[in-house]
Structure 1
Amino acid sequence: MSVQTLQATAELRRSIYALDKNSPLTSVQIDQIVEHALLHTPSSFNSQSTRLVVLHGAEHEKLWDATTEILRAIVPAENFAPTQDKLNAFKAGAGTVLFFEDTDVVKGLQEQFPAYADNFPIWAGHANAMVQYAIWTTLASANVGANLQHYNPLINDFVASEWDVPSNWQLVAQMVFGGIVAPAGEKTFAPVAERLKVFG
């Protein structure tokens, strides 16, 4: 694969919010993409602490129905309409990937390597983010839209109970995916000169 192909694929990865259930990939193909990213994304000390749950169809809708009710209980009724619209857009997608970190793995590394103890939660976050990016970019290459959400910790208890998630799995993000109804808007960039230094 050429550098240009990799870079073009990276450019395809955008936050797509207008989604529907007409994914160009089957559920099995989505699962294979998720599994491949989980297996082949690096992690510090080869910790492999990222954990994933994939929700398709009715299970995906169950998540966003529950999130709606959880938020309805805390958002004033007069202000809830925009929240409802946003959550309806997530539910309209085909599925959701839930991203977790196994806190037992992180704690084990902290105990085994105390000199680096403060860094292991940070490094685990880096690895999780790389898995997110790997999945997101691969989905984009197959013309599957996605966006990343963070309704944790509000939904943590529901998720753990509904899908029998171990107590040591900490929810960190939710990636909604589906068919693309409308593309992302034009992307803007802060000046590269303010964000990049090169020496030598």
Structure 2
Amino acid sequence: MHSSETVSFSAATRARRSRRALKATSSVPDSVIVDLVESTLLNVPSAFNSQTTRISILLHDNHRKLWTLTGDVLLNEIGEKLYTARNGHMPSTKEKMATFGNAYGTILFWDDLAAIKQFKDEAPGIYKDKCEEWATQSNGMHQYHIWVALETFGLGASLQHYNPLVDEHVRKIWGQPAEWALRAQMVFGTPVPGAPLPEKIQKVPVEKRLNVFGAIIENGT
């Protein structure tokens, strides 16, 4: 691991938030980001080792181009009035695009539909109806693994979903295969100091979400 990775995984899990106020700087070299994503693809599990998740990394000018493109697509889709409108204290769509563009990079998460079809074709009959679900689960694990890992580097991130509106444009500009379906866009960068963060609210008590059977709890009753 990189020398600046001093935060434990558990601590990073607790600290992780959707951080939108980000600067176009990074605490680690681009090579570390690339190594992280490569390690994620090599080590995060998938059902039957189907390996259906694909990832693209956009940095610097490519990152900014993505959010300019996304803004243009949304402006064309919803019109200038809605694009620039604010809802109370919430930023407008135009302001959101500028905020995302001001970050350091974006990681794109895709599903390879051809690989999912092959997975489904080769799966035992009793599992065929689960293959799409398992592919979605694996993609989500890739997203979460990278999100928490970025936190250990001192980087913040938020997960956006402007797919499928931008899929075709992104595939064309960056030469991504037609069989890839975009699932999420993770914007990351250095958190702006002092930017407010939402509290992690537990809507349902953990006691109602966790069942434990047979555990021996030391120093417990």
TM-score (normalizing by structure 2):
0.85
Distance across 2 between alignment mates of 1:149 and 1:169: 17
Matched, 1:158 2:199: no
2:83 alignment partner in structure 1: 80
Name stretches of at least 5 consecutive residues in structure 2 with no aligned partner: 1-6, 85-91, 215-221
1:184 alignment partner in structure 2: 197
Distance across 2 between alignment mates of 1:33 and 1:91: 22
- Alpha-carbon spacing, 1:183–1:27, altered in 2? closer, same or farther (3 Å): farther
TM superposition shift of 1:186? 2.0
Q: Is the 8 A contact 1:16 1:183 kept in 2?
A: no
- Alpha-carbon spacing, 1:55–1:5, altered in 2? closer, same or farther (3 Å): closer
Matched, 1:147 2:158: yes
1:130 alignment partner in structure 2: 141
Matched, 1:62 2:65: yes
Name stretches of at least 5 consecutive residues in structure 1 with no aligned partner: none
Q: Is the 8 A contact 2:114 2:179 kept in 1?
A: yes
- The number of residue pairs the alignment matches comes to 197
- After superposition, residues 112-131 of structure 1 pair within 5 angstroms as 112-113=122-123, 114-131=125-142
TM superposition shift of 1:6? 3.3
Measured on the aligned residues, the alpha-carbon RMSD in Å equals: 1.5
Distance across 2 between alignment mates of 1:170 and 1:118: 19
SS of structure 1 residue aligned to 2:78: coil
Matched, 1:198 2:212: yes
Question: Percent same amino acid at aligned positions?
Answer: 40
1:89 alignment partner in structure 2: 99
TM-score (normalizing by structure 1):
0.93
